A and B are shown apart, each in its own frame.
Chain A
Amino acid sequence: EDKVVQSPLSLVVHEGDTVTLNCSYEVTNFRSLLWYKQEKKAPTFLFMLTSSGIEKKSGRLSSILDKKELFSILNITATQTGDSAVYLCARYGGSNYKLTFGKGTLLTVNP
């Protein structure tokens, strides 16, 4: 089954905190795992992960994939109010090239 589960569903932190968002997936013909940030508009791409153990980094955001344990994490350090958004994880795979999204984690960063 193509299930992608994200946790927590919602998170409220103060500016400056570090957060870790989790994404677990089921494995059928895994190709890649993607992270997106969605504010009030369309999702914007953050990372694509295909290999286990290799951290991808962009500024204060980083992500890593564990293909053995079937999960990925997204870390955000020194959070800012502008990081408030829904963070979506999606698994790309299956013989029919399907992208399956999790329900997202709603991150709220308070000043």
Chain B
Amino acid sequence: DSGVTQTPKHLITATGQRVTLRCSPRSGDLSVYWYQQSLDQGLQFLIQYYNGEERAKGNILERFSAQQFPDLHSELNLSSLELGDSALYFCASSGGSLDEQFFGPGTRLTVL
């Protein structure tokens, strides 16, 4: 158990809908990272927050947004969902940007 929690575990929704994925980092970690993993693309970095501020942006679509709250938990919002958004979404946390990242168990999103 990495200490990073993600909810929900599984999510099934329809195209065009909006969902919110939630992540609680390990106690004391200030950085939260979001990743998307699909069969054809592998693990892709989406976005990083550090102590509430956006720190780095990867391959995140404009339909997706994230934020980190004062209690350091983070949410990833996915809107206007498409079939291709079906994937495993991981959250990871670390103490700082150069520290090892600990991954949560992931949320499996299925868009029908």
CA–CA, A102 to B45, complex, Å?
11
Evaluate contact between A42 and B33: CB separation under 8 angstroms: no
Q: Distance (Å) between the CB of B58 and the closest chain A CB? A: 6
Q: Is B12 an interface residue (CB 8 A)?
A: no
> How would you classify the secondary structure of chain A's contact residues: helix, strand, loop or mixed?
strand
B95 to chain A, nearest CB (A): 12
Q: Is B56 a contact partner of A88 (Cβ separation < 8 A)?
A: no
Pair count A-B, CB < 8 A? 48
What is the bound-complex CA distance between A56 and B48, given in angstroms? 27
Q: How large is the interface on B (under 10, 10 to 19, 20 to 34, 35 or more residues)?
A: 20 to 34
C-alpha gap A96/B45 in the complex (Å):
12
Question: Chain A residues near B97 (CB, 8 Å)?
Answer: 92, 97
Q: List residues of chain B with CB under 8 Å of any chain A CB.
A: 2, 33, 42-45, 48, 55-58, 90, 97-98, 100-106
User: With contacts A42-B90, A45-B101, A97-B48 known, what are 8 further pairs, Cβ within 8 A?
Assistant: A43-B103, A50-B98, A92-B98, A96-B55, A96-B56, A97-B97, A99-B33, A102-B42
